[in-house]
Structure 1
Amino acid sequence: MAECSPDRKMSTKDLLIVIVIALGSFMAGLDATIVNIALPDIAKALDVSTVTVSWVLNAYLIILVSLLLAASKLGDMKGYRNIFLGGFALFTFGSALCGLSPNIDVLIVSRMIQAVGGAVISALGAVMVTSYLSASVRGQALGIVAMFTMLGAALGPVVGGFLTSAFSWQYIFYVNLPVGIIAIILGMRILPQRDPVAPGAKLDVPGVALIFVALGTLIVGLTTIQGSSAVAGLAALVLSVIFWALFVAWERKTKEPLIKLNLLSNDAFTLQNVNVMLIQMAMAGVMVIMPFYLELVKHIATDNAGTILLALPVGMIMTAPIAGKFSDVIGTKKPIIFGFLVCAVALLLLSTLSVRTSVGHVCIYLFLLGAGTGIAFSPLNSAVMGESPAQEWGMSSGLVRMMTNLGSSLGVASVMLVATVVVGPKLAEISAHQLPSMDLAGAFDAAFLFCMVLEVIGIILMLKVPAKESSGEPEEAIMGF
């Protein structure tokens, strides 16, 4: 780790290192939202059902969640620079394969390859900043990385909508190629080569495999339990429960676990991690459903739909920094509860959407949801890290990232399940383009109500957490999230 310096201004070398790492965060943020807006076009172009095309998101998220902790451990074992650049290269290669995919099966496999690289980029960015830069500029550097992540997420719907309308859906993946190539070249020249911090450590391969199977069967079960594959879906859910139990049992006995389960004995730590997952489930669910509502119910062009979706991340960007400062003064509990409450109100309003709802109202509701998410999310991450011992910040940060992406996976799968229950099995069997607008609007309203219930559960869980003033000590670890 770099020595602490009295100089609080980043050098040119420091800034270049941060830019390379931030480009990875930008790509990760962009890719998290750019695909959603193109899902209706992908479903139509490849002639697949709405539920089937959701696997373009699900497959990516399953791999990402499964490998986050493993990628972090691999960087400790083999050195951050080479693993990070290798992940960047794999992400870029996977993006090219996605754009060239001739059918849905190849696209899903390509997304899985892309996700392996995405897990590395996401897992190692913050720890590389911590390792390469002095403590005096670390917070500033992690703030830049966090800003690039939000910028990518904010631009995703707009860029995705423009590229899909002006060219085709393939270009939402091609846009990663120049950024990836530039970042790899810069990284090879700028990122310092350091010895691994834990060269003798061992990767918990059984733990990684158990997470992958447990998460994969969970998503498969939620996706297929409706329709003609109900029995297979139920069987997958039963398998998921078994493999989650096996994972917990394995982590308890292995010498080098992915997660130290004794962290979960702290109720405040556990409940707030669950809330990280819940708030992400709601946001991811809305982001996957809204493009279908805008394009198929309101018949809005893809590029314009992307611009409308921008209201949600803009709300987050405007409120997250302010909420973080307030939580330093008044503690984290009140901002978190208020943020969840704003989200619940926004989702209740979204559940009233119909064919006749104006675009202006849609933008206001989405902005409110983004604002509420931003108000809750920064203090929530701070609270989780504040409940963790200093020597476990790295593992706790990895667990928060895992819960966030798990929430994205479950959010996509669960809202599709709710929509399928309302419309019927036909949603899983045919393209949404072939269904009446009124039927789709009703299904989407039910999905928004489901997301509202998640926010209410979050409020109830937070009421069980003791109020605690923020110490601010783990801030550096949080900002890299």
Structure 2
Amino acid sequence: MKALLSWREGDDGLPPRQRILAMMVLMSGSLMAVLNINSVNIALPTIADELDISSAASVWIINIYQLVGAASMLTFAALGYRIGRYRLYIGGMITFVVTSVLCALSPSLGWLIVFRAIQGLGSAAMMSIGPSMYRVIFPTRLLGQAMGLTALTVSLAVAGGPALGGLVLAVASWQWLFWINVPLGMAAVWLAIRALPQEQGSHYRFDVLGAVLSAVGLGTFVIMLDSIADMSRPAVVPVLLAVSVASLAGFIWRQRHFDNPLLPLVIFRETRFTMAVMTSFFSFLAQSMAFISLPFLFQNVQGYTPLESAFLFTPWPLGVMIGAPLGGRLADRFSPPLISSIGLLLFVAGLAVLALLGDQPSTLDILWRSALCGLGFGLYQAPNNREMMGSLPKSRSGSASGVLASVRTFGQSVGAALVALVLSGIMNTTMDSAVTVGLALWMGMASAIVALVLSASRIRMLRR
């Protein structure tokens, strides 16, 4: 932490005092955005009971938040150029806080879903440009450590979300899961107005058609993946796929022919950036498959209770909290692709030993395997994000930030759909639960190996 506040002659970025205040703003934004998935998720049964709705209907309280965010990431990243990231980030944070109040006051599921959708927009506005703000706030020599700080914050929210949700529900109603955002959010908005670097927007014409095509293409893709996982309406899947492909094809055509595209495709000509994007997709796909499979392994195969399962999973985000800052520091001194590859190697090893767990492993056996996965993923993530953000000029950092957020979301969505296919028996109806969960973990490991190969290939490219 002390290094992040250091100052050298010729440093770009903000002065140390303003830097720490801006850093607190971005950490607060990430913390609130991620906590509002993990803490609310554990409250879905309680919300379903109090609103007298089905469990399936209550899932949309989470789904709509993620869907809207996924569909609008690229749009907000481009909007940051148009109106300025200062205005966009603060506007997103204010939207998030106001809708937290409205969610807490919602009298029915319909109103709650509407306000959660708007809250998802506020979250996407913050998360889509957050990484690019680190590029402006911190000197280039500290960018890896700054990216490690981002991963640390998200991991803290992932680890603490369920515990926070359970604690709030133990002493208060579910509405307080939204009320607690208000004081933190108001303080963060007050600090953001004073600490975030101000910048003027551009006067070019915003690509409204590109934004619509992007939102439709990405949104229908996520819905299609959810439909594959559910398989209650299989006929809808090809329709959604056709709409998504057509919209994304139209989006690409639009970006090639519009003077000021939403997503400048020229950024993918930078090999370092493209390789980092591909590595990120497969690594998050692997992480998602493991995240979703492990509770089934712990509860359905090994017989642990849900509470015990949550405890067994905790070393993973704790490992990320250790590995991410370490990876960030190392990436500022050594080759980021090298550090990323070492982290992915540990991640692959962790997934392999988890997949090899027997039916009755000891608690310690599970804990160190989960910790190894988290440590490896944290060690990989910060250097890879640094490579993605640092491989493009600062003028393109907003686009890079939007791609980073979108790739993470879609890697996680594809991973969730694949696990659902495996667990539902669609891929093989003859497997018992132990073999099925094991297959999902092995598939996740295969995806992590692809990410490792892509990452390692960058080391050879740098040596040429």
Aligned pair partner of 2:54 in 47, 52, 72:
47
Structure 1 residue aligned with 2:164: 159
Cα distance, 1:455 vs structure 2? 0.9
Structure 1 residue aligned with 2:446: 453
Aligned pair partner of 2:412 in 399, 408, 415:
408
The answer on 1:121 being equivalent to 2:121 is no
Contact 2:46 2:174 in 1 (8 A): yes
Contact 2:210 2:251 in 1 (8 A): yes
- RMSD of equivalent CA atoms: 3.9
Aligned pair partner of 1:275 in 270, 273, 279:
279
Structure 1 residue aligned with 2:25: 20
CA distance in 1, matches of 2:8, 2:323: 32
Q: Matched residue of 2:460: which SS?
A: coil
Per-residue deviation, residues 369-420 of structure 1 (Å, max 9, x unmatched):
2112112212222333454345433322332222122223333333233322
Change (3 A) 1:35 1:323: same
TM-score of the superposed pair, with normalisation by structure 1: 0.78
In structure 2, runs of 5+ residues without a counterpart are: 1-6
Structure 1 residue aligned with 2:372: 368
CA distance in 1, matches of 2:222, 2:147: 32
Change (3 A) 1:41 1:310: farther
Cα distance, 1:160 vs structure 2? 2.9
Change (3 A) 1:133 1:456: closer
Matches within 5 A, 1:120-159: 120-128=125-133, 147-159=152-164
Cα distance, 1:210 vs structure 2? 1.5
Q: Matched residue of 1:258: which SS?
A: coil
CA distance in 1, matches of 2:197, 2:392: 30
Change (3 A) 1:134 1:321: closer
The answer on 1:110 being equivalent to 2:121 is no
Contact 1:98 1:107 in 2 (8 A): yes
Structure 2 residue identity aligned to 1:184: V
| Percent identity over paired residues | 28
Q: Matched residue of 2:200: which SS?
A: coil
Aligned pair partner of 2:224 in 218, 221, 226:
221
Structure 2 residue identity aligned to 1:460: V
Which is worse superposed, 33-42 or 132-141? 132-141
Structure 1 residue aligned with 2:265: 261
Matches within 5 A, 1:266-345: 266-291=270-295, 298=303, 300-302=305-307, 305-328=309-332, 330-345=334-349
Change (3 A) 1:179 1:327: closer
Structure 2 residue aligned with 1:63: 68
The answer on 1:90 being equivalent to 2:109 is no
Structure 2 residue aligned with 1:434: none
Q: Matched residue of 1:421: which SS?
A: coil
Change (3 A) 1:458 1:158: same
Change (3 A) 1:467 1:167: farther
Matches within 5 A, 1:244-255: 244-255=248-259
CA distance in 1, matches of 2:186, 2:299: 33
Cα distance, 1:237 vs structure 2? 1.9
Cα distance, 1:469 vs structure 2? 5.2
Change (3 A) 1:95 1:305: farther
Which is worse superposed, 112-121 or 449-458? 449-458
Change (3 A) 1:134 1:230: closer
CA distance in 1, matches of 2:351, 2:91: 40
CA distance in 2, matches of 1:459, 1:175: 40
Change (3 A) 1:357 1:201: farther
Cα distance, 1:77 vs structure 2? 2.9
Contact 1:95 1:173 in 2 (8 A): yes
Contact 1:25 1:121 in 2 (8 A): yes
Structure 1 residue aligned with 2:183: 178
Contact 1:60 1:111 in 2 (8 A): yes
Change (3 A) 1:281 1:160: farther
CA distance in 2, matches of 1:165, 1:129: 37
Q: Matched residue of 1:230: which SS?
A: coil
In structure 1, runs of 5+ residues without a counterpart are: 426-437, 471-481
Contact 1:332 1:382 in 2 (8 A): yes
